[in-house]
Structure 1
C-alpha cells in the first residue's frame, strides 16, 4: 500500500442529460461493470461510485441519474436532487454530452452549475462512434465555445471503441489533489452486495421491456445466501428477489405470455451473476403489485 502522504484522491461527478452514456463511460473508466446500462432514460436512480486505484492515485467516479428538467413524480424529483447533490460533493465535474443530442437543455444547465461551483470541469462528447464523419465534431464543440475559458477541455470519446478514453483518463488523473484515499484499494463500488444483485436483474428487465414500464418497476433482493453443494462440493449462490410494479397490466407485461419474459429475464440475470461470481446461481423471481411503491420509497 502506498504511503498516505504521497496519495492523491478525488471525487469525480459524471453528470449529463438522461441516456447520455454516463453509466457506460463509468464502466469503461473503472474497467469493471459497476453501473447498469440500458438504452432507456432513467436507468440510474441513485449515485453509484466506481473506484479506480492506480499507483498513488484514487479516482472515485460518481454515476448520477440523468438530469430531469421538470420532475413529474417523487422518483424523478429524487433523481434530480441526487444529481445535484453529487455535483455539490465532487472535486471534479465531467459533463457528458451525447453527440446526437448535443443541444439538450440539461447540458448548459449542468455546465453552468459546475462552473458556478468553481471546480475543474471537463466536457465529454460521447457516442462519437455513431458519427462516421468526425469533422462534424468541430462545429459541435464551437457551439459550446462560450464555456471554453471555464472548462479544462473537450474530450470526444466512444465507450464502445474506447477512442479518446486514454486522453480523458490522463486529464482526470492530473486534476487529482493530495489527500488520503477514501476507500480500500480492492473496492470497486460502494453498492452493497444485495443491491448489486438487484441492479443486475433490473438491467435485464429494462432491456426486455419497452416504453414506461421499466421506469415504473423496482427490484429488491429479499434474501440471499451462499452454500456448498453436497454432491459437487462447489459453491452456490441462492437468491430471492421481488419485482414491484404499480398495476396488474404491468405485471402481465413483466411475466410475459405463459411466463416467458420473466423466465428469460431470470436466465439473463443468472448468467451475469454466475459470470461475475464464478459459481452456480439459483435465482427466484416474484412479481407483486403496489400502486404506491414510488411514493413510499421516494415521497
Structure 2
C-alpha cells in the first residue's frame, strides 16, 4: 500500500488522481482550502470503500503558515511518503497579495511547491521509489521570470503571473536534485495541456463562457488525462528530473531548464522566505 499527498486533491486532476489511488487500495491525503469539496472527496472515498485510507487536510497553501502546517502534519503522521503530487493552482485575473506580502499566483503555484517539496524530502526518501509529480506548464506557452519584480507590482496580468509561475516550476524541478544529493526521489514535471477542470471559473465574462465552451468540445476529460500521469507516478523515469508535455518527453534544454537560472531562482526564493 502506497501513500500519496496531493495538493489540490479535492478538485480536477488532483481529485481524479486521488480517487484513482484510493480505488486500487492506496492511502491519500488530499490538501485543499475548501471544506465543501473536502467533504465531497471524503464522501466519494467512503463510496469506494476507502474511508479509512482517505484524509482531507484543509490548508491555505498561498500562505507560509498553511504550507508549513501541511509539511509538519505530514511529517508527524506519515511514516513514509511514496508520492507528493502538486496540483494546486488558481487563476487570478486581478492582482492579489497574500498576508505574507507575496503575489498570490507566485505564492500558491510556485512557493507552496518549493516549501513542501524541500521540507518533505526526508519522509519521501524513506519510500522505495519516491516521486514528486508536479503538474506544470512545461513546453507550453512562453513566459519569463521578472527577476526584479517577481511579485508583479507593475504590469500585472493573470496570464503573465501564470506563465511566470510555470517557468519557476521548470527551474524548481531542475534544481531539486542538486539540493538533495544522493536522494532516491525522482522529480517529474508534467504539462497535461487542455483538461476539463474548474480552472476557468475565476475568469471574467465573456472569457469564462468562451473557455468553458471550448473545454467542453476540445479538452480532455480528467479520467482520461490522468492515465499517463498515474503511470509516471507508479514508474517514474530513472533520471533525477524529467519533463513531459501530454505524455511526450521534453528535452531539458534551453532557457526554461537552465541550471544557472535555476540556481538564481533558488537564491531569490530563499532570500524572500528568509525575509518573512
Whether TM exceeds 0.5 here: the answer is: no
Higher helix share: 2
Q: TM-score, normalised by structure 2?
A: 0.29
State which structure, 1 or 2, has the greater radius of gyration over its C-alpha atoms.
1
Greater fraction of residues in strand: 1
TM-score by length of 1: 0.27
